[in-house]
Structure 1
Amino acid sequence: MASRLISDRRREPAALPSDPLAAREIVRAARQRRRRDARRRRYLVAGVMASAGLIAALGLGRQLIFTGDAGDTGAPSASVRPETPTLAPSSPPSQPASPPPEAGPAKGDGTFAYASSAGPVAGAAGTLKKYRVAVENGSDQQADAFATAVEQAYGDPRGWTAAGDLRLQRAAGEGAADFTVFLATPATSEAMCATAGLHTEGYTSCRITGKVIINLARWLTAIPDYGKPVADYQMYVINHETGHELGHGHEACPGAGRTAPVMMQQTYGLKGCVANSWPYLDGRRYTGPKVP
């Protein structure tokens, strides 16, 4: 190379004096100087390494403080902003694209057949309310058979007439009545509920003024993990939606392992409670915490 770095150049050794003692002193002084220079270089390298280690340690500590688990620092991670919790209304569980055959037709004719004859009075005393029973045409269900189940719910000593201040009686056909209990396919029940702004996604039942609307698929199959036979769910859904018609609002599960109130939205899950079909237990009205 035409030029060389200064650190690469070699110094020519200086000539020693002819006097041995003087030469020895010069060599000894040069050796001590080299040792001293070597120690200085070692100290410098050690200092640089120590500084680098300290910087790295500080950086690591900062990383642990700001990106570690919340449990390590007692505070949420600063590298991820915690989301503000939001409240959302309950929504029906996700359903398969095609309902199972046992759930019945997904859509019917949109017209209804009514139970033909009048029924007995349920309840010993109180205001008499009359109701009609209707089943959608094309649902593969019979109005008279559905009417029998409704009468069973209303006539049970655990039903809404248990308090002695209400009587219920089925009217014949499309005769005059205070309300109607409908059994409708998912598509029709959704359309009926939507007229009052209730969106059931074809999954749940509902009540709008004067109409108790039972979803056919839930009637035939209940819900997953209900823990009791479908017949028990049928009694529950009639009593729940009729409870709304009688002026009762939603109630919550009173605690894990406790009995679910009939006005709890059991179709959305039991929330740790045990399924229950009836508003009265042991002769007394059974309730849970009111849902706002």
Structure 2
Amino acid sequence: MTTKSTGRAHAIGAALLLSALLAGCGLPAAGQPPAPPAATGTAATATTAAPPPVTARPTAAAVSYPADGGNRWYGAAAEAPAPGGTGRLWRYRVAVERDIRGIPVAEFAAEVTRTLNDPQGWTAGGTLRLRRVGWGQPADFTIYLVTPGTRDELCGDVPDGYTSCRNGGRVVLNVARWVKGVPRYGASLATYRKYMVNHEVGHRLGMGHERCPGRGRPAPVMQQQTLGLHGCTANALPYLDGERYAGPSGAYDDPIPPRERGRAG
């Protein structure tokens, strides 16, 4: 989302813990992104494992995951062909935690890339480009689909197990939100998933939180729509009608729903 105690204190440095983080969704932090988190034991093997095959069925019908995963990953291949365009190139990797069943990494990566390559996405202004690279290649950030417990480890903020976040070079998407969405969102799950991706990637690109610009208007993509729309309507896109769509800077003091448990298949 929108955007804890860490299970691996060596993976999150003091500089990240001092970063300004709003509830459930990290604000942009300067500096180079951290390396992908590694688990112990068989972790190195896990991160290079071949991705599961893509299936044609809808993912949500058979998805299962524990409340706390093992912080091991399936990494996606690079997109081909890579998009063209102008502006600064941002390279990103995509990974799915191995404990999540029913969402193949290739399928998830394809949905993420479709969102980021949308004509009304972050590249619409012509000032930047986004390109998915392979798991073993250098990148400016990594998009993770994670269990609720691993969300807390990677985000390094107040642990809630519910929201998503951006922490340094980590764009962390909570699988519970990916599968279930949020109550009273007023739009399809597909729209909410696009919002998740664009909101958290927006933080990595330097965007802060925004508020609803007026009752009945679309919510800015940088509004914390996971926690409330505040009179706006759901919107997943950074650009509308060819123009960057934004609201007043700031966030709401919305409560975060209870921690998520795992989901059985």
| Paired position in structure 2 for 1:131 | 92
| Paired position in structure 2 for 1:288 | 247
| Contact 1:123-1:162 at 8 Å conserved across structures | no
Does 2:237 align with 1:275?
no
| Paired position in structure 2 for 1:247 | 206
Does 2:194 align with 1:235?
yes
| Paired position in structure 1 for 2:105 | 143
| Paired position in structure 2 for 1:40 | none
Q: How many residues align?
A: 193
Cα distance in structure 2, aligned partners of 1:122 and 1:260: 28
State the Cα deviation string for residues 29-56 of structure 1 (Å, max 9, x = none): xxxxxxxxxxxxxxxxxxxxxxxxxxxx
* 1:279, distance to aligned residue in structure 2 (A): 0.4
Q: Which amino acid aligns with 1:258?
A: R
| Contact 1:236-1:262 at 8 Å conserved across structures | yes
Cα distance in structure 2, aligned partners of 1:122 and 1:202: 34
Cα distance in structure 2, aligned partners of 1:143 and 1:204: 21
Cα distance in structure 2, aligned partners of 1:271 and 1:200: 24
* 1:104, distance to aligned residue in structure 2 (A): 4.0
Does 2:135 align with 1:176?
no
The structure having more radius of gyration, on CA atoms, is 1
SS in structure 1 at match of 2:124: coil
Name the one with the larger helix percent. Answer: 1
State the Cα deviation string for residues 96-140 of structure 1 (Å, max 9, x = none): xxxxx9674322221111003444334521111111001101111
Cα distance in structure 1, aligned partners of 2:128 and 2:138: 18
| Contact 1:135-1:183 at 8 Å conserved across structures | yes
Is there any run of 5+ residues in structure 2 with no aligned partner, and where? 1-21, 26-61, 252-265
Q: Which amino acid aligns with 1:204?
A: T
% identity of equivalent residues: 48
Distance 1:243 1:91, change over 3 A: closer
| Paired position in structure 1 for 2:124 | 162
| Contact 1:112-1:136 at 8 Å conserved across structures | yes
| Contact 2:23-2:158 at 8 Å conserved across structures | no
SS in structure 2 at match of 1:271: coil
Cα distance in structure 1, aligned partners of 2:168 and 2:80: 22
| Contact 1:260-1:273 at 8 Å conserved across structures | yes
Cα distance in structure 2, aligned partners of 1:268 and 1:192: 20
| Contact 2:73-2:95 at 8 Å conserved across structures | yes
| Paired position in structure 1 for 2:76 | 115
| Paired position in structure 2 for 1:257 | 216
Write out aligned runs for 1:70-89 (5 A): none
* 1:143, distance to aligned residue in structure 2 (A): 1.2
